[in-house]
Amino acid sequence: MATPAQQLPQGWEAEWDANNQRYLFIETATGRTQWEPPVDQGIQPQYSENAPGAAEQPVHHGKRRQYAAGQTQAYYGGGESSLDPGYLAGTAAQPGGAQLFTPGLVGENQFASQQTQAAPAPGQAPQYYAPTEPEYINAPGFQQQPAYGQPVDNLANQFGQMGLAGQKQFQLYTTNLLTSPPDPRDLHIPPPEIRLPPNASVSPSPTANADPSYQRSTLNAIPTTSSLLGKAKIPLALILTPYRSLKEGDEPVPVITDTVIARCRRCRTYINPYVQFIDGGNRWRCCMCNMTNEVPQLFDWDQVRNQPGDRWARAELNHSVVEFVAPTEYMVRPPQPAVYIFLIDVSNAAVSTGMVATATRTIKENLDRIPDEDGRTKVAIICFDVSLYFFSLPQGTTEPTMLVVSDIDDVFLPKPNDLLVNLAESRESVENLLDKIGNMFQDNHIIGSALGPALQAGFKLMSPIGGKIMVLSSSLPSAGAGALKNREDPKILGTSKESGLLQAAVPFYKTFAIECSRAQVSVDMFLFSASYQDVATLACLPHYTSGQTYYYPAFNAVRSEDAIKFAHEFGEVLAMPIMLEAVMRVRASRGLRMSSFHGNFFVRSTDLLAMPAVPQDQSYAIEIQIEETISTPFVVFQTAVLHTTCYGERRIRVVTQALPTTSSLSEVFASADQVAIATFFANKAVERSLTHKLEDSRDFIHKTLIDILIAYKTSMTSGGAGASGQLAISDNMKMLPVLVLGLLKNVGIRQSTQIPPDLRAYAQALLTSMPSQLLIPYLYPTFYALHNMPPEAGTIGEHGVVLPPPLPLTSERLERHGLYLIEDGQTMFLWVGRDAVEALVRDVFDLPGYETLRGGKTTLRVLDNPFSERINAIIQKIREMRRGPYYPHLYIVKEDGEPPLRLWALSALIQDRADVLPSYQQFLSTLREKVNGAGGGGY
């Protein structure tokens, strides 16, 4: 099969979008993107790769099995018959959708090609972001839309096409939210292009600016004054994931090994592609503070070959994300080894649920994966119930000795050495110990947990070195320091007092976190309790020590799904190559100041974030203030993370991002990145729910959205007749309202009297630490119809398993005979309609019929039929495609099954009304009322 790239008209590129499983077509001259293949005049569109060619089609027909429900609908393959004309007609014109050359589709193809014709002719100035939403072309109301609010834009386009426009501008396209329903695929459109002035970068390399997965800004054009920013009402913030993991196919971060680190004398900025070389290349001018600096002598020297090197080939001048190997000036002490201490709860609750057994087995199985390239990694295991159990693993014997400390008020280490052992040297004893722990405590009837003292013991053991403490706890801490009371009170849920339950109950976990941060100790919490465990308080510890909280409510290893999920996630965390002893600082061009920080770290000084151990794929949000008028054509943000790798090398990871500045309000709107804004809102909402109340945090987000809409309406639309029937927003932000609705309906924020505080606290921990890639589906889950998915879905395509097209999140899409998958990155629901035909149930679940099917957590076996294989492939793909250690549970939900599970699954369909929470339509109409009410003027 030919790739689409080979069949594109001149000036177009096809880029595979892994999230969306389809090609994104990019016009190289303008940066315009669209999902449907571009069409040259006179050339019929050719679909390939994803859309099987016409020749293959009959084969599919031959193999296709029909599961008639009612009369004609087929549950898979025969997608055309059950495609909803309103929504999917447009998709049919895209690769992946078009299987049959039906008369209707021909018409649409022609229509699509008409839409695209105008653009790609060479020499013409660009239309940025031209019609990217073909699916709306067929939506009712679209036809009228072009007339609305765009006369100026149209005029600008015409000028643009006449070649008068000069420098490329962000072109603003207004969308009416009321007539354009949200399309899940729009979430995967890359953020508005960063259009730097020519010659901003010394390198022509495409990697000279940071990838959005490392660092993205809510605005890709920075307003020059704070009053301009204030007019747009869009928050200015950076979303950082400096230690992003590398998936297959990702380019590794280049490492600069010669320890020549050129930095600005004044502002300490690292040299990057946006500096200017002057004086014939002997000096460089800092891009942030304009200071002139000497170029270091060895900068042009290739130390490996010991000969003059090519400066322009240096990685720091060509890549936005680089790692410098740091010389001794950057070290307070020699690089520390990685240290892992496991604190395992062995109280009755932990043993009887099988947590201890699963945990010890997982640790044992993953001993090889724990980063230990240099053989220096140390481990220790401490068990605790109301006493502490230390294990001494002396050299020369593999028999561990248990030392019990029952004095938990004044914790001491029973032995000065042999408790913390070198993993490589004592491998056998560690394995032997892990084998035995399960048996040792299998009849432990002690109830209660001395988590606080256990933490103190672990801290004492590792504080000279620092490292990671992994806590596995199944019960509420009840003894010694840090004991907690059950403060869960169903009566105050949903009231204004609820936010008190989300704050730390006792100061112990905060003060201890500060001690840990000082001693470079990071804590990860794995919590398993079936009853109240005060996740909110315990999560403080990971929060301030750059760890992470993992919560498995009502864990029971008897259910293999629970065991698999925990073992998988725990294994991933163990195998993660962590950054030790890290500090992070973000520098920005003059006039910009980092004003507040959100995420898991401790703020050690006004702009220095202390992170004892940085896990991969953790995201941070930083609010930015514009303090003085910016006069430069572009600004630079640089994140530097000084850290020790887990194999003992001091390094600095530097992420540089340059963004153009603008003094035009329309460019500010046109450059807004809805995904980054939503990520920032999630952080802000959680912060406000802790400092104020949950209602306040919801109101705050809601109000910010309204302010943005009002600002847009008053400044960007003519506001004339018919304006009150509109809710206008720029095209690149049209998913923002639905994301905000998703956030308002998220477990962490939602108004409800039913959500246990533990689940809320955990959801909040996720909201503030997940990178956009995981967060966006958490806010706006993905919804697939499996019974009528296109034939290539679930099969291996060029880039792995092809996913079906996502549907909008509304139960209107649920058909009674259907099979659906709803997933938010943390949980997956397999929704089975009540009229599901027997053949479907048999093919997927190996059961005789819908009645025998049981809802709940499950593992889907791969059966010997293509449909089952495809569904399993899709589930597998969903579990693997995102970064992060999470392994979502799969629940079978029957349409008439147990109400709690059904309601839970339905709560993921955020465009529907649920209790007091509005549907998307209602949400939009309240927005419209607020916006038009405040807009004044005439109406």
Partner 1 sequence: MGAGWLFLFAVLYSAGLLFGMVFFVIMFSDLESDYINPIDLCNKLNQFVLPEYGAHAFLSILFLLFGQWTAFLWNVPLLAYNGNKVFKKNHMYDATEIFRTLGGHQKETYFKLAFYLLSFFYYLYRMIVALVAENP
Footprint of partner 1 (CB under 8 A): 510, 513-514, 518, 540, 544, 596-597, 602-606, 608, 691
Measured between alpha carbons, how far is 275 from 287 in angstroms, rounded to an integer?
Answer: 5
Nearer to partner 1 (CB atom), residue 199 or residue 605: 605
Nearer to partner 1 (CB atom), residue 510 or residue 902: 510
**Is 334 buried (19+), middle (13-18) or exposed (0-12) by CB count in 10 A?**
exposed
Min CB(610)–partner 1 separation in Å: 9
Min CB(496)–partner 1 separation in Å: 15
CB atoms within 10 A of CB 582: 25
Min CB(23)–partner 1 separation in Å: 45
Nearer to partner 1 (CB atom), residue 300 or residue 687: 687
CB atoms within 10 A of CB 590: 16
Q: Which helix (H) or strand (E) holds 27?
A: strand 22-27
Min CB(598)–partner 1 separation in Å: 10
Query: Among 162, 116, 123, 154, which residue's Cα sits nearest to residue 137?
Result: 116
Nearer to partner 1 (CB atom), residue 562 or residue 623: 623
Sign, CA dihedral 584-589-593-598, equals negative
What is the DSSP code string of 387-454?
SEEEEE--TT----EEEEE---SS---S-SSSSSEETTTTHHHHHHHHHHHHHHTTT-------HHHH
Q: What's the one-letter identity of residue 598?
A: H
- Do the Cβ atoms of 112 and 67 come closer than 8 Å? no
Min CB(336)–partner 1 separation in Å: 20
Nearer to partner 1 (CB atom), residue 609 or residue 641: 609
Nearer to partner 1 (CB atom), residue 38 or residue 466: 466
Min CB(510)–partner 1 separation in Å: 5
Min CB(441)–partner 1 separation in Å: 35
Nearer to partner 1 (CB atom), residue 228 or residue 513: 513
Nearer to partner 1 (CB atom), residue 93 or residue 521: 521
Min CB(761)–partner 1 separation in Å: 16
Min CB(688)–partner 1 separation in Å: 11
Nearer to partner 1 (CB atom), residue 69 or residue 504: 504
Min CB(514)–partner 1 separation in Å: 5
Cα of 735 vs its chain's centroid, Å: 16
Min CB(605)–partner 1 separation in Å: 5
Tokens of 35: 């999902």
Residues whose CB falls within 8 Å of the CB of residue 849, separated by 6 or more in sequence, listed in order = 838, 841, 842
Min CB(385)–partner 1 separation in Å: 29
Measured between alpha carbons, how far is 440 from 416 in angstroms, rounded to an integer?
Answer: 24
Query: Among 20, 182, 67, which residue's Cα sits nearest to residue 833?
Result: 67
Tokens of 380: 């220790």
- Do the Cβ atoms of 939 and 932 come closer than 8 Å? yes
Nearer to partner 1 (CB atom), residue 604 or residue 842: 604
Nearer to partner 1 (CB atom), residue 596 or residue 629: 596
Min CB(416)–partner 1 separation in Å: 28
Q: At what angle do helices 757-769 and 772-779 cross, to 10 degrees?
A: 140
Nearer to partner 1 (CB atom), residue 71 or residue 605: 605
3-class secondary structure per residue, 237-295: EEEECCCCCCCCCCCCCCEECCCCCCECCCCCCECCCCCEEEHHHCEEECCCCCCEEEC
Task: Give the three-state DSSP class for 527.
Answer: strand
Nearer to partner 1 (CB atom), residue 427 or residue 510: 510
Nearer to partner 1 (CB atom), residue 289 or residue 530: 289
Min CB(499)–partner 1 separation in Å: 14
Query: Among 329, 217, 203, 299, which residue's Cα sits nearest to residue 586?
Result: 217
Min CB(507)–partner 1 separation in Å: 8
Sign, CA dihedral 46-52-53-58, equals negative
Measured between alpha carbons, how far is 911 from 909 in angstroms, rounded to an integer?
Answer: 6
User: For residue 342, what are the CA distances in angstroms to 253, 376, 417, 522, 564?
Assistant: 31, 17, 17, 12, 20
- Do the Cβ atoms of 713 and 719 come closer than 8 Å? yes
Nearer to partner 1 (CB atom), residue 356 or residue 540: 540
Min CB(266)–partner 1 separation in Å: 16
Query: Among 748, 336, 825, 368, which residue's Cα sits nearest to residue 539?
Result: 748
Nearer to partner 1 (CB atom), residue 597 or residue 886: 597
Min CB(512)–partner 1 separation in Å: 11
- Do the Cβ atoms of 874 and 804 come closer than 8 Å? yes
623, HSE (Cβ side, Cα atoms, 13 Å): 16
Min CB(283)–partner 1 separation in Å: 29
Nearer to partner 1 (CB atom), residue 303 or residue 625: 625
Nearer to partner 1 (CB atom), residue 73 or residue 618: 618
- Do the Cβ atoms of 64 and 20 come closer than 8 Å? no
Task: Check residue 129 and give left, alpha or beta (phi > 0: left; psi -120 to 50: alpha).
Answer: left
**Is 41 buried (19+), middle (13-18) or exposed (0-12) by CB count in 10 A?**
exposed
773-806 burial string, b = 16+ CB within 10 Å, else e? Answer: bbbbbbbbbbbbbbbbbbbbbbbebebbbbbbbb
Task: Give the three-state DSSP class for 637.
Answer: strand
- Do the Cβ atoms of 805 and 185 come closer than 8 Å? yes
